[in-house]
Structures are given as structure tokens and as C-alpha cells.
Amino acid sequence: MHDAVAQIAAKIVAGDARALARAATVIENRTPEADALLRELGPHAGRATVLGITGPPGAGKSTLVDALVRAIRREGKTAGILAVDPSSRISGGAILGDRIRMQAHHADPGVFIRSMATRGSVGGVARATADLALLLDAAGRDYVIIETVGVGQDEVEIAGVADLTVLVLVPGMGDDVQAIKAGIMEIADIFVINKADHQGAERVEGEIQGLLSLRNRSDGWTPPIVRTVATEGAGVEELLAAVNEYRKTASRTKSQIPNPKSGFAIDHLGIAVKSIEAALGFYEGQLGMQVSLRETVSHEKVKVAMLPAGGPRIELLEPTDPESVIGKFLATRGEGLHHVAVRVPDLNAAVERLRKAGARLLNEPQTGAGGHRYVFVHPASTGGVLLELIEGS
């Protein structure tokens, strides 16, 4: 098994296009080989420029990606494109347009393209995107371009995968620039005003400059504003130059990607509350976070609301029964941090190691919310905090 995986990884690293395509499917479908393969590829990644391109629907992102890829190919460099639609908002027309554009690159082995409409949670998409980006990076692609639609929290999460994020705006957005500034403006390393052949490019540029003047970045980078007409390829060389400049002078730590080498990552922080609705008054209403998932886990007698926070999430827990674990916790300790959940690459191996070392496990591994296997470790063993270990992805 291990040898087979190592052989596939070696082919991918050597640039075998068919091995790459097959591996992308394995990773997207999260078959059992996926994790082993990613661990094998991890050490080969880190060279690519991973570029996120985001912006409102119809801003011309796909057209721009296409033009950018042409510029990249003219320089003799290779590219991988991941088109992500977290909201499954893709219209038939958009898919068709993307297909036609993709066909233009179909015969070019220097361009790898995958589209992903989401089936599951945003967290799942962010993970799949991170994994595919790592695959393309390890496969030696010079540029990995991730196109995402929208202006919300989902994109911020996916942006955590990229080295840098390009935010595509268009003339005539007016007050919309103000409206989207909250999350997404913060993550933009380069601004593009596409459709600069339309009226109103100056006005959008002025608004972006206004917002930029309000903050200083800790990395000292001043996000440039590049005007493009993607349909004609105008301004695209300039955009590529800005991307390369950013890569040279500033770079963001990819702290939100689960480290493929260690396989450990914070999954969530569980907070016990008397009322999820009341707590959301703060987390959603005042702080501006967004719930991605709500569910009731009946055998735990608890209601859950998940709030994505980078890769990890905050998980609000409200008991449906005072006799439940969370109910008793609230009665004795009051509201507060209930547990920290860490993903581990191999739960059985972890459990075996911990048992041998005499750690106090509170349950046998079992299947919980989202179909994941988990085990709890008593605070006496962990430095005073209840620790949940969750298997894999």
C-alpha cells in the first residue's frame, strides 16, 4: 500500500499529467488513499505561487483567469486552475462559458483545470481546495489559481489557502464597495478593477484608495490597484507583474492550512452556552461571524451551531436536557470553554499511544456530528482542558 502510494507520488512530482488528474479525483472524493498521498506529496510542495481570485458574480474572474494563464504560458510557466463555487450558485450559463474557455486550454498539458461545485460545508471545500492546491504545487505547477465567487465569509476562509488574494471589482459598484469591505477587503493583496472599458473605473479606484488609506498592513505591503479589460487581455501583464512582486517582497503565512506534514490541526473550540440564540446575538449580531451549520446531536442531547473562524470553527453547544454532559457542565461551571478539538491523522494509533502512556480517555472512539470518529481525553491528562480528538478530515 505504502509503496504504491509512493510510486504515484513520484510520478506526480515528475510531472506525469495522467497521474496528476487521477490523484485530483482521489483527493476530491476523499478516498482512503488521499491522506497517505497528501502526506507523501507535502515535502514536495511550497514552490508554487498560489493565487486566490475572488469577487462578485459576473465580475469577469474566469475571463481574467483565462487571460492570466495565457500570460503565464507566454512566460513558459505552467498553471493549475481550481474553480470553486462555495454556494453552488453556478448558473448553467456560467458553467457553459467556463467550459468553452477551458476547451481553449484543453490541448495544453501546461494548464490543469478543475471545477468544484460544493456538496458539503464550506469548511469541506476549503479543505479540498487546500489539498488540491498542495497537489498542484507538488506537481511542479508554477502558478496555482483558485477562482471563488462572492463577497462573504466563505471566500475569506478559502483565501486562507492562497499565498495572495486578488479581489476583482468592476466599475459601477458604487456603494457596494462599502458594503463588501468588512471581510473581503481585508484579505485583498491586489485589487483589480476589471471591465475598465466601462464607465466609472476612477470612482471605484477612489473608493478603494479611501479604504486602503485607513489601514496599515503589518507586512508593509501596499495593495496595488490594477485596471484590466479581461476580454482583451489589457492590463493582465501588469497584474502578473504585481503578483510576482508580491511574491518577492511580502508573503503571508499559510497558518490556516492544516499542516500536511504533521496531520494535526485545530478543528474547533466548543463553547457551552445556555442559549445559542442569545450567544449568536454576540457572535453574529455584534461580531459579524456567520453560522455555517446547525444541527441537533440527539445522543449527546445537544444543539450545535458552527461558526467558521479561519480553518477552525467555534462550536456553540446548548443542552437540550439538563442531565446531558453539557447540561451538567453549565450547572456546575457556568457558560464557557467546554473543550478544544484537534484533528489527528490516525485516531486508533493516537488512542493506542495514549492508553499505553496512561492518559485518561473518556470514551471508546465513536462516530459523532458530521460522521467523524472522535474520542475525549480527560482534562487531568491534558493540562486542564477537555480535549476532543477527531479523526482525519
Ligand X SMILES: Nc1nc2c(ncn2[C@@H]2O[C@H](COP(=O)(O)OP(=O)(O)OP(=O)(O)O)[C@@H](O)[C@H]2O)c(=O)[nH]1
Q: Which of 127, 192, 129 is nearest to 166 (CA)?
A: 192
**C-alpha cell read off for 300:** 449527546
Strands, E assignment, the chain: 49-55, 79-85, 111-117, 143-149, 164-169, 190-193, 225-227, 265-272, 293-297, 302-308, 313-319, 336-344, 366-367, 373-377, 387-391
**86, 154 contact by CB (below 8 A):** yes
CB 61 → Mg ion: shortest distance, Å? 5
| C-alpha distances in Å from residue 21, one per residue of 51, 83, 369 | 20, 15, 32
300 lies in the site for ligand X, by CB under 6 A? no
Q: How many residues bind to Mg ion according to rule CB under 5 A? A: 2
Given candidates 36, 94, 361, 362, which one binds ligand X under the rule CB under 6 A? 94
Closer by beta carbon to ligand X, 57 or else 263: 57
229 lies in the site for ligand X, by CB under 6 A? yes
CB 237 → ligand X: shortest distance, Å? 15
CB 123 → ligand X: shortest distance, Å? 22
Given candidates 52, 60, 258, 260, which one binds ligand X under the rule CB under 6 A? 60
Closer by beta carbon to ligand X, 149 or else 208: 149
Map the footprint of Mg ion across residues 41-70, applying CB under 5 A: 61-62
**211 half-sphere exposure, CB direction, 13 A CA radius:** 23
Given candidates 49, 129, 165, 194, which one binds ligand X under the rule CB under 6 A? 194
**271, 305 contact by CB (below 8 A):** no
CB 97 → ligand X: shortest distance, Å? 5
Q: How many residues bind to ligand X according to rule CB under 6 A? A: 16
Query: Would you give the end-to-end CA distance of the chain in angstroms?
Result: 20
Residue nearest ligand X, CB atom distance: 60
Task: From the list ligand X, Mg ion, none, pick the one residue 57 interacts with, judged by a Cβ distance below 5 to 8 Å according to partner type.
Answer: ligand X
Tell me which residues touch ligand X (CB under 6 A): 57-63, 94, 97, 149, 194-195, 197, 229-231
